[in-house]
């Protein structure tokens, strides 16, 4: 009888440890911000409409593999909602009307709690 209890306890430990939620969709956290680019003609930081914003789940380090990509609105705004607790890496890029490409090495956001909002504005050069 004692052996059965030990086996059952071990099974529960494995199940609960193995069920740790990974970063990604399914939570209540939000990352939002504005993507701008340094305009080579005027020298001002202008909104980057239709810029790509890519997010990698489960890392705060630079990466080339992303889990989701969205586009900014006409004012350069983006919002990624419904994220679980964990680490995220965000990278953005933009090509202007003249074909010039603007990039940024990216930034990270870490959520330690549920239902938080983080703002990550990126200026592309």
Residue 107 sits in which domain range? 23-124
- Section 5-22 average pLDDT: 46
What pLDDT does 1 receive?
A: 53
| Residues near 112 by beta carbon (within 8 Å), at least 6 away in sequence | 85
Query: Is 86 contained in some domain?
Result: yes
What pLDDT does 45 receive?
A: 95
Comparing CA positions, the residue from 93, 22, 90, 26 lying closest to residue 58 is: 22
In the predicted structure, residue 14 carries a pLDDT above the cut 50: no
Query: Is 64 contained in some domain?
Result: yes
Query: Is 13 contained in some domain?
Result: no
Q: What are phi and psi of 14, to 5 degrees?
A: -60, -45
Q: pLDDT tens across 15-74, in order?
A: 444 444 588 888 999 999 999 999 888 889 999 999 999 999 999 999 999 999 999 999
Contact 53/36 with Cβ under 8 angstroms?
no
Query: Is 11 contained in some domain?
Result: no
Domain count, the chain: 1
Query: Is 83 contained in some domain?
Result: yes
Q: pLDDT tens across 79-113, in order?
A: 999 999 999 999 999 999 889 999 999 999 999 98
Query: Is 49 contained in some domain?
Result: yes
Query: Is 47 contained in some domain?
Result: yes
CATH number of residue 79's parent domain: 2.60.40.10
């Amino acid at each position: 009888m004692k052996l059965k209890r030990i086996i059952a306890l071990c099974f529960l430990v494995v199940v609960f440890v193995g069920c740790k939620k990974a970063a990604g969709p399914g939570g209540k956290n939000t990352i939002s911000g504005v993507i701008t680019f340094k305009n080579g003609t005027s020298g001002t930081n202008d909104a980057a409409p239709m810029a790509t914003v890519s997010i990698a789940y489960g890392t705060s380090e630079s990466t080339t593999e992303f889990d989701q990509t969205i586009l900014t609105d006409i004012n350069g705004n983006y919002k990624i909602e419904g994220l679980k607790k964990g680490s995220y890496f965000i990278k953005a890029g933009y090509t202007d009307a003249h074909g010039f490409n603007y990039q940024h090495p990216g930034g990270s956001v870490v959520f330690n709690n549920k239902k938080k909002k983080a703002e990550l504005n990126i200026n592309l050069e």
